[in-house]
A and B are shown apart, each in its own frame.
Chain A
Amino acid sequence: MPVFKTFLKIVMKNKGTIIMYLAIFLGIAIPITKLIPGASSPSYSDSAEPIAVIDNDNSIISMGLQNYLKKTQRVKNINTDADSIQDALYFRDIEFLVSIPSGYEKDFLEGTVPVLNTTSVPNSYSGIYISMQIEQYLSFLRIYIAGGLSPQEAVQKAEEVMNTKAEVSLVNDGKTLSQSYKFMFYYQYIPYMLLGILVQIIGLIFLSFNKEEVRKRTLCSSTTLRSRNIQLFLGCAVLGTAILVIVLLISFILYGSELSQSGVFPWLFLNSLTFLLVSISLGFLVGSIVKNDNQLSALATSIAMIFSFLGGIFISQELMGSQVQKISRFIPTYWYIATNKILGYAQSTEALDSSSFLQNTGIQLAFALAFFSLALAASRRKNGRM
């Protein structure tokens, strides 16, 4: 099987690419699963975050705000010079800082609304959440004071109101979990790696085999065109399976007990297998439209990036604008992630609504088919026959 052998030779020559994408994949996936729950639920919950309050007012109101924050967050004492504050924020000793200027209470009681400066570590959801809490507290305080209460009473009342909350209960229906499995995040990054590796390498292989001289040489050899194509398919299958097996094995090493308890592994496997087909067909397509190595690596890297960013791999789909979400439906990764999200919360296979699973898988397969047909059309146009 000379074609198959050459296939493997080309793969071995490019093992750098494979190792690179595997390293990137593990380099993102492992820390992220370690950083959960920070990653799974942007801290909209009532978890207490480390914060600091700089109080230059020392008034009833400022103390009231501090007391409220002390009860809901972890208020830390830090030095108040700019350097220490910078260090504390930089090393994440504190997530959030609010400073109360002197004269705050006086302005507040006069009815003007003085603005408090806050600083949070960049991109922090907890910072947004704490800001919301403080704003609510201050707005309640303002109403009580306008209602004629003394600052002491108002502070007490405002805190009381802040603590009036609806009771929350979580149902356990035996089907879905309240928190996702950790492996969901691992599986979320698989398409990026599959696309990165397979589009590049399969593209390269198609590029090499379809070079004018190579193609002519193969055509006049004793190997039939059919046998050549079968060997190429075999090569793709072996390469794809090998990578998938490595990735799935690592997932078992990292999350073995969680995976076996969840019982959703067969579906995770099917989903990633489906995406494997998408990546391979995309490799065919890219390999049959580019003209040289440089174009190939440019296109392959861009596709991996675009599909990952817009399909919801690097950024959660919920956080994207509605326009972007509409576009992302035209990207196969979107449908992979849709299934992955269902599986990430599934407590048993009962939670799997088979129709949505079939739909997501069907759409991915349709993408694969479309890429494959386009690839055939493109290479026919280029070569007459494949």
Chain B
Amino acid sequence: MFLHLFLYRLKSFFRTRSIIFWTMLFPILLSTLFKFAFGSSSDILENYKTIPVGAAVVSENAETESFLSILKSAEFSKDNPMFSIKAGDLESSKKLLADGQIDGIIILDSSFSVLFSKSNINQSIIRQFVNRYIQTVKIVTDIASVSPENFSKTLSLLEENPAYLQSVTVGGEKSDPMLQYFYALIAMACLYGSFLGLQNSHSIQANLSALGARRHVTPTSRKLLIIADTLAAYLIHFLSIIVLYLYIRFVLQMPVGPQPAPFLLICLLGSVIGVSIGQCVGSLARKSENLKMALTLGFSMLSSIFSGLMYADIKYYIGKNAPIINKINPATLISDAFYSLSVYSDYDRFSSSLITLALMSAALIIISYFSIKRGKYASI
């Protein structure tokens, strides 16, 4: 009996296309967008575009000559030059700067200086470039005076660029800053399980749907119905999160979830809390289906945005101003758990997040169970 109910509930979920869209296709679409929009952090140099500058030669000498030739030949990546020189004197450069046609002016006098009209990424690239040049000039003259015998050997070191640093997590693994967006995304997908929960509570309450009324008159125990529905929702949702995980990991090639076992445990708890939120909203509010849908969607969206889905620093802003929100916001708890697992290797925070999630789910399940089970309808 139970198996029959369970299987047919699964079948019915699979045939509800809007549910499959929200729980499976939408997160996949969004993760693809993330991948597209961020690019991969490794080819960040290829993404930079040539910066238009003015090189204002005030006094012409050998040094300005050599600087100009380096300026012209610098490249972000192959065939992607760093700078294009739009003007060669101060007068016309200033005019172009005022019109916003160049990002900065490099003034080549006895000493070099730079002139900007705003400060942004391109301006700091220009400044870094000029700094690097004058620093190199200084070091070359220094070496030439203190140890001319080592001059050529030392100079060859300038060309070398060995790795001096390596970015690791506290636990010693390499880390990728883009991952946090993907964790927030998986947290969002977990909360979208609320659509499944909503559907569940809708199709079991006699005053909400024809299906609910029909199921209410069966002799099958309500407890069995509720348990079969709920477990089916957990299973479907957990499966779609796994599909999302596999998609992000193997199709988009983002290294999420390096330790699959605890990672999947978070996904499971995330699925449970998502479904439970939907079930609880559906069982409590005797309002229109539209309103409940908007409520669950709105809650999931707000909750995931506060966990950093669209702008990562929001979580820290909230942490500073209203830390209690971060402690009970399910999306933040889920993404924190992912985070402490892979970035901080911190099992204390990992387990405390999971415990809070489990407690919240338990509370929601109890509320909705009793509120649905109690329902008796003398007439509808």
Which residues in A have some Cβ–Cβ distance to B below 8 Å? Answer: 13-14, 16-17, 19-20, 23-24, 27-28, 31-32, 34-35, 38-39, 41-42, 44-45, 82-83, 85-86, 89-92, 98, 113, 115-120, 122-124, 127, 131-132, 134-136, 138-140, 142-144, 146-149, 157, 161-162, 164-173, 175-180, 294-295, 297-298, 301-302, 305-306, 309-310, 314-315, 318-322, 324, 342, 345, 351, 353
B258 contacts partner chain A, Cβ-Cβ < 8 Å = no
Q: Shortest Cβ distance from A80 into chain B, in angstroms?
A: 11
Chain B residue contacts of A166, Cβ below 8 A: 111-114, 127, 130-131, 134
B255 contacts partner chain A, Cβ-Cβ < 8 Å = no
Interchain CA distance A295-B119 in the complex, whole Å: 45
B47 touches A320 (CB 8 A): yes
Q: Shortest Cβ distance from B360 into chain A, in angstroms?
A: 21
B29 contacts partner chain A, Cβ-Cβ < 8 Å = yes
Interchain CA distance A176-B340 in the complex, whole Å: 43
- Size of interface on B: residues with Cβ below 8 Å to A: 98
Partner of B94, one of A171, A302, A345: A171
The residue in B157, B164, B348 that gathers the most chain A C-beta atoms within 10 A of its C-beta is: B164
CB contacts between A and B, total, < 8 Å: 266
Partner of B98, one of A85, A127, A175: A175
A143 touches B158 (CB 8 A): yes
B166 touches A118 (CB 8 A): yes
B319 touches A113 (CB 8 A): no
B21 contacts partner chain A, Cβ-Cβ < 8 Å = yes
Partner of A42, one of B121, B165, B311: B121
- Residues of B300-327 at the interface with A, using a CB-CB cut-off of 8 Å, are 301-302, 305-306, 310-314, 316-319
Main secondary structure of the interface of A (DSSP, over half): helix
A322 touches B167 (CB 8 A): no
Which residues in B have some Cβ–Cβ distance to A below 8 Å? Answer: 17-18, 21-22, 26, 29-30, 33-34, 36-39, 43, 46-47, 49, 94, 97-100, 111-121, 124, 127-128, 130-132, 134-135, 138-139, 142-143, 146-147, 150, 153-154, 157-158, 161-172, 175, 177-180, 288, 290-291, 293-295, 297-298, 301-302, 305-306, 310-314, 316-319, 339-340, 343-346, 348-349
Partner of A123, one of B37, B143, B168, B312: B312
* A122-B339, A123-B178 known, 17 other contacts, Cβ within 8 Å: A20-B297, A20-B302, A28-B311, A45-B124, A86-B340, A113-B163, A123-B180, A131-B167, A144-B142, A147-B142, A148-B150, A161-B135, A164-B134, A169-B115, A176-B117, A305-B29, A314-B310
Q: Shortest Cβ distance from B212 into chain A, in angstroms?
A: 19
Q: Shortest Cβ distance from A57 into chain B, in angstroms?
A: 15
Interchain CA distance A140-B121 in the complex, whole Å: 25
Q: Shortest Cβ distance from A255 into chain B, in angstroms?
A: 18
Q: Shortest Cβ distance from B295 into chain A, in angstroms?
A: 6
Q: Shortest Cβ distance from B247 into chain A, in angstroms?
A: 17
Interchain CA distance A134-B114 in the complex, whole Å: 23
B344 touches A89 (CB 8 A): yes
Interchain CA distance A189-B77 in the complex, whole Å: 33
Chain B residue contacts of A161, Cβ below 8 A: 135, 138-139, 142
Interchain CA distance A248-B298 in the complex, whole Å: 23
A-B contact pairs, 19 of them (CB 8 A): A13-B288, A13-B290, A20-B302, A31-B317, A131-B165, A134-B165, A144-B139, A167-B111, A169-B115, A171-B117, A178-B119, A302-B26, A305-B33, A309-B34, A310-B37, A314-B310, A322-B46, A342-B100, A351-B100
